[in-house]
Amino acid sequence: MSPIIKRKGERFTLPSKYLLFILTVLCTVMMLVTFGTDVFNRPLNVVVGYVIVPFQQGIEKVGGWLSNRSEELVQIRTLLDENAELKAEVAALIEENTLLQQDKYELNKLRELFELDGQYAEYNKVGARIIGRDSGNWYSSFLIDKGEDDGLEVDMNVIAQGGLVGRITSVGPSWARVTSIISDNVHVSAMTLSTEDNMTVTGDLRLMAEGCITFSQLVDGQDSVREGDKVVTSNISDKYLPNILIGYISSISKDANNLTKSGEIVPAVDFEHLGEVLIITDRKQSVVE
């Protein structure tokens, strides 16, 4: 008798191998469909936005709160050991001091962001907080706490600390995914600021630990590009706005074909310690107009 025929008085259950087959077909269809289009992305992004993102935001807040508390505790403890007789007074002072330090820290951060703002003044920007990192170890992307409701769209550029971080690759109602330029599958069209020679900047997993990215296809006939030269996004890129700082050339060498050069770039952004980012809400197309 076939295993999928329902017997009397028994609840119908699909045998697991049939289920596996059906889901495999479903996955394959989804892969084929979403490879070219983004039909499913919209509803799924909305659903997970309501189910998962609130948890992530909560954990982020709790984590921040806990690390603040633990910092406070450590500071108070060391001072108690040093000044046992001034215990009460010192504790109160330290409390105050910590709060002030936190304020100062925030002030510095805001000042930095403000300066950055001056540099790219012609673009409209919104700030966002990072609430989650890639769940695997192969690529580098992260989630931010703003989405469609805040006017974000796919392909908007993301900057921080004066340099390019990446671009938005997926967006939900209250969250967005930013794929960073150090991710292994990302290519950015770039140019040197001094000579305006075009090149392709590519993330590399092997260099990610050192915090470097590679560049290639640099045509430099006059040998005028040097180590330490500034690299910015090029004006021929169709996703990235022109003249955003990517980093500085740290090594350069001639390719085997004797025509092009390649090497490594140290990014301007410290990708290990990113907390807040700025999203440029202007997109390349609208700038061209």
Partner 1 sequence: MLRKIIVTVCIILCFVLQCSVFDSLSFAGIIPNLMIVLTSSFGFMRGEREGLIIGFFCGLLSDVFFGSFLGFYAMLLMYIGFLNGKFCKIFYPEDIKLPLALIVVSDLSYGIICYILTFMLRSRFEFAYYFLHIILPEALYTIVVTLFLYPAILKVNEKLENHERKRAQKFV
Query: 26 in helix, strand or coil?
Result: helix
Residue whose CB is less far from partner 1, 87 or 133: 133
Contacts with partner 1 by CB under 8 A lie at 13, 16-17, 19-20, 23-24, 26-31, 34-35, 40-41, 44-45, 48, 51-52, 55-56, 59-60, 63, 131-139, 141, 143, 169-170, 177, 184-185, 205-206, 208-209, 272
| Shortest Å distance, C-beta 125 to partner 1 | 24
Phi, psi dihedral angles at 238 (to 5 degrees): -95, -5
Q: Dig out the tokens for 280 from the structure.
A: 């440029």
The DSSP call for residue 151 is T
| Shortest Å distance, C-beta 99 to partner 1 | 23
Phi, psi dihedral angles at 197 (to 5 degrees): -85, 135
| Shortest Å distance, C-beta 94 to partner 1 | 25
Residue whose CB is less far from partner 1, 19 or 92: 19
Residue whose CB is less far from partner 1, 116 or 178: 178
Residue 249, beta-bridge partner list: 265
| Shortest Å distance, C-beta 194 to partner 1 | 31
For 48-62, the DSSP string reads HHHHTHHHHHHHHHH
| Shortest Å distance, C-beta 31 to partner 1 | 4
- CA dist., res. 244 & res. 120, Å (int): 8
| Shortest Å distance, C-beta 138 to partner 1 | 6
| Shortest Å distance, C-beta 57 to partner 1 | 9
92, amino acid identity: A
Residue 231, beta-bridge partner list: 192, 247
- Integer angstrom CA distances of residue 196 from 37, 185, 189, 220, 263: 35, 25, 12, 10, 17
User: Which among 184, 178, 192 is positioned nearest to 214, based on CA atoms?
Assistant: 184
Quick check: 164 and 240 in contact, CB under 8 A?
A: yes
- Integer angstrom CA distances of residue 155 from 255, 282, 284: 32, 10, 9
Residue whose CB is less far from partner 1, 27 or 287: 27
Residue whose CB is less far from partner 1, 208 or 252: 208
The DSSP call for residue 85 is G
Residue whose CB is less far from partner 1, 48 or 99: 48
Residue whose CB is less far from partner 1, 6 or 121: 6
